[in-house]
């Protein structure tokens, strides 16, 4: 199954204003993706509309979010049930410092309806560290029946390897996001204890043209197995 499970909408300040729900879903269709997830920074406020548009255009959608921990580590959480996603969003909001977004510096944080009309703008800066540790965030995602992915694990900024230097053995996670097999080899060399995880490649697209660049073929058996653990 061709997937891209890490895309940003225009709600992320760093995401292009063209990343509207219909644009994202239509681009995913053009790229012949079969399942996607949009993971905005520290919020799930655009998720209901994204799922609605995906449903209308017959594309599988997984609710997602990219959380920034207090250690500046990016971790993606995925949910199958909207209630779980919503509950997690409430938890997240409580751990977000109410710093106002400076749109001229960070960019817009736009909220859209199902027709791509702007219905609001998030005031609190979304691209900042939450007050929660990566361990607590991972636990909370599981508590709400979600799965945990270590985002862009080898990137030079906001990856667990950059921020902590290693993946702690007591961290509860399910997926590792890589860009190529070389990165997988490197992570395994550093952490020979890692066994039962799903390795995935996602675009982390902030612009329409980047959606689906990896055309990752999901190991569906492994994916379903992961969900059985938490649902």
Q: What is the phi-psi region of residue 24: left when phi exceeds 0, alpha when psi lies from -120 to 50, beta otherwise?
A: alpha
- Residue 66 touches Zn ion, criterion: CB under 5 A: yes
Return the residue of 122, 177, 204, 216 that touches Zn ion, per CB under 5 A.
Answer: 204
Question: Nearer to Zn ion by C-beta: 66 or 216?
Answer: 66
Please identify which residue in 74, 145, 184, 201 interacts with Zn ion, judged by CB under 5 A: 74
Q: How far is the CB of 152 from Zn ion (least distance, A)?
A: 6
Report the nearest approach of Zn ion to the CB of residue 39 (Å). 6
**For residues 117 and 158, what is the distance between their CA atoms, to the nearest angstrom?**
32
Output the smallest distance, CB 25 to Zn ion, in A: 18
Q: Which of 139, 129, 131 is nearest to 171 (CA)?
A: 139
Interface of this chain with Zn ion, residues 28 to 57, rule: CB under 5 A: none
Q: Quick one: which segment of 43-51, 59-67, 100-108, 140-148 binds Zn ion (CB under 5 A)?
A: 59-67
| Residues 6 or more apart in contact with residue 125 via CB below 8 angstroms | 13, 99, 100, 101, 102, 106
User: Shortest gap between Cβ of 9 and Zn ion (angstroms)?
Assistant: 11
Instruction: Using the rule CB under 5 A, give the single segment among 49-57, 79-87, 126-134, 202-210 that binds Zn ion.
Output: 202-210
Which range, of 113-121, 197-205, 208-216, 218-226, touches Zn ion by CB under 5 A? 197-205
Smallest separation (angstroms) from Zn ion to the CB of 172: 19
Nearer to Zn ion, 140 or 152 (CB): 152
206 binds Zn ion (CB under 5 A): no
Name the residue whose CB lies closest to Zn ion.
74
Size of the residue set binding Zn ion (CB under 5 A): 4
Residues 132-161, interacting with Zn ion (CB under 5 A): 151
Alpha-carbon distances, residue 52 vs 177, 181, 194 (angstroms)? 26, 35, 36
Which residues here bind Zn ion, judged by CB under 5 A? 66, 74, 151, 204
């Amino acid at each position: 199954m061709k997937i891209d499970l890490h895309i940003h909408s225009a709600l992320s300040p760093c995401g292009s204003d063209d990343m509207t729900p219909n644009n994202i879903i239509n681009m995913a269709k053009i790229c012949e993706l079969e399942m996607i997830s949009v993971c905005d920074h520290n919020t799930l406020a655009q998720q209901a509309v994204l799922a609605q548009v995906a449903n209308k255009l017959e594309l599988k959608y997984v609710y997602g979010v990219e959380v920034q921990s207090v250690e500046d580590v990016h971790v993606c959480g995925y949910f199958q049930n909207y209630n779980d996603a919503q509950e997690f969003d409430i938890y997240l909001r409580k751990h977000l410092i109410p710093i106002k977004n400076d749109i001229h510096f960070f960019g817009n944080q736009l909220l859209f309806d199902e027709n791509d009309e702007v219905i609001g703008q998030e005031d609190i800066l979304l691209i900042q560290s939450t007050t929660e540790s990566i361990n607590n965030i991972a636990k909370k995602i599981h508590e709400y029946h979600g799965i945990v992915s270590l985002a862009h694990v080898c990137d030079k900024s906001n990856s667990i390897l950059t921020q902590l230097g290693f993946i702690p053995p007591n961290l509860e996670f399910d997926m590792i996001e890589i860009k190529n097999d070389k990165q997988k080899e490197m992570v395994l060399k550093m952490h020979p204890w890692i066994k039962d995880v799903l390795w995935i490649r996602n675009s982390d697209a902030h612009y329409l043209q980047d959606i689906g660049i990896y055309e990752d073929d999901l190991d569906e058996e492994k994916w379903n197995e992961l969900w059985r653990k938490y649902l």
